[in-house]
Structure 1
Amino acid sequence: HGGNVPKLAGKRIVMLIDFQFEDLEVMYPKMRLEEEGATIVVCGSHDPRTKYTGKYGYPLLSNEQIDAAWIGCYQCGVAMEKIDAVIVPGGFAPDYMRRNQWMLDLVVFACERNIPVAAICHGPWLLCSARPTEGGPPVLSGRRATCFSAIKDDVINAGATYVDDPVVVDGNLITSRTPADLILFVQTIITEVLMRNSSGS
């Protein structure tokens, strides 16, 4: 293509990570979105450069540590860089993620600002536990969503309408079922990020 600018040039996408992630659900979106020009910031609960290992042994180093100071910069509007989307991969990692207050706060932050949050497989577990107000309904409440079949009951109990489709978009939330849906999942992330860019929001 010569001088064509990649579609997602200048876009900064946060990928949440923890141990026992679903290898494909991290690596495929990361590579595809980087190929489109996006910067993928891998954020975990441990020190930057921690080596996280997927369910099948794939290693990935984190770029940044998500903690009170990290999320506070965004909440107070003093962060040097923007966030154009948040990706929540599946595997067993979301079981750890949903216990991490800063990751929950990031999901709420994104939802309050109409930033796409894309969760696949067990990833919607994080959306079941992220509540804009303490004791209030989670961000999934009143939304259409999909997920891995094993956590369907959790998604319904969080107040969502469960839909058995490869990808479901409702507002800023993008949800998907399994690694078999990854191609459409990532295509949808690209579309949603670009759509928000063009509308100026």
Structure 2
Amino acid sequence: MPAKKILMLVGDFVEDYEVMVPFQMLLMVGHQVDAVCPDKKAGEQVATAIHDFTVYQTYLEKQGHNFTLNATFSEIAPTSYDALVIPGGRAPEYLRLNPQVIEIVQHFAQADKPIASLCHGPQILAAAGVLDGKSCSCYPACSSEVTLSGGTFVEASEGFDNAHVDGNLVTAPAWPAHPAWIRAFLEVLGTKITL
């Protein structure tokens, strides 16, 4: 199977692991990944956030690494991509306000191209109106947005390490699910890895 061309939508305070790990893993297996952010160009950076689970009732946030974009948002053509990745963190809450982001997501959904999203990423899917009739995992705090947009929320496992597949939609609750989520996404992409 030839390498896929994958678009990754990110923004400031995207979750550190949720952008770094999939970006590097997808490159490692030979796919092209273009990471873009509205109003930013290739070579510019977004700040990331590290979210961790502690004794508090919600996650703790610290600033992570800076992530360098390798493509320019204003120059992309969604039709030229085979798949879409939407990491979580705090970026989705404001990226979903961008009409072009919504149009991009709608293109991938309408064309039935693979979409991988996790944690807070499904906030963008909900805002784009592409979850109606779909089942979707996400960070539990986003479950209301999934159900209010017509989707069915899939509970996270105790360790947040499960992924869920509904057709070409691959979702997961948070970064502890990376092994299952990336494995499932590679299967949907048709990527064959031999040992």
Output the TM-score relative to the length of structure 1.
0.80
Q: Which amino acid aligns with 1:152?
A: S
Q: Which amino acid aligns with 1:40?
A: V
Structure 1 vs Structure 2: percent identity of aligned residues? 28
**3-state SS, counterpart of residue 190 of structure 2:** helix
State the partner residue of 1:28: 21
Is 1:50 aligned to residue 44 of structure 2?
A: yes
Q: Distance in 2 between matches of 1:156 and 1:93?
A: 21
Deviation at 1:189, TM superposition (A): 1.0
**Residue correspondence of structure 1 range 57-72 to structure 2 within 5 A:** 57-67=64-74, 70-71=76-77
Deviation at 1:63, TM superposition (A): 2.2
Deviation beyond 4 Å, 4+ runs, structure 1 = none
State the partner residue of 1:129: 127
Q: Which digits, 9 at most, give the CA deviation of each residue in 1:145-165, with x for residues without a partner?
A: 110011111111111111114
Q: Distance in 1 between matches of 2:167 and 2:100?
A: 22
Contact 1:121-1:148 at 8 Å conserved across structures: yes
Q: Distance in 2 between matches of 1:189 and 1:107?
A: 17
Gaps spanning 5+ residues in structure 2: where? 50-62, 157-161
**Residue correspondence of structure 1 range 77-88 to structure 2 within 5 A:** 82-88=80-86
Q: Which digits, 9 at most, give the CA deviation of each residue in 1:62-97, with x for residues without a partner?
A: 122334x644x73xxxxxxx3121000000010121
State the partner residue of 2:30: 37
State the partner residue of 1:77: none
**3-state SS, counterpart of residue 41 of structure 1:** strand
Pick from 161, 164, 169 the counterpart of residue 165 of structure 2.
169
State the partner residue of 2:100: 102
Q: How many residues align?
A: 173
Q: Which amino acid aligns with 1:58?
A: H
Pick from 132, 140, 145 the counterpart of residue 136 of structure 2.
145
Deviation at 1:39, TM superposition (A): 1.0
Q: Distance in 2 between matches of 1:70 and 1:26?
A: 19
Q: Which digits, 9 at most, give the CA deviation of each residue in 1:129-173, with x for residues without a partner?
A: 11xxxxxxx110111111001111111111111111421111221
State the partner residue of 2:181: 185
Gaps spanning 5+ residues in structure 1: where? 1-6, 75-81, 131-137
Contact 1:66-1:102 at 8 Å conserved across structures: no
Contact 1:144-1:162 at 8 Å conserved across structures: yes
RMSD: 1.8
Q: Which is strand-richer, 1 or 2?
A: 2
Output the TM-score relative to the length of structure 2.
0.83
Q: Which amino acid aligns with 1:179?
A: W
Deviation at 1:60, TM superposition (A): 1.2
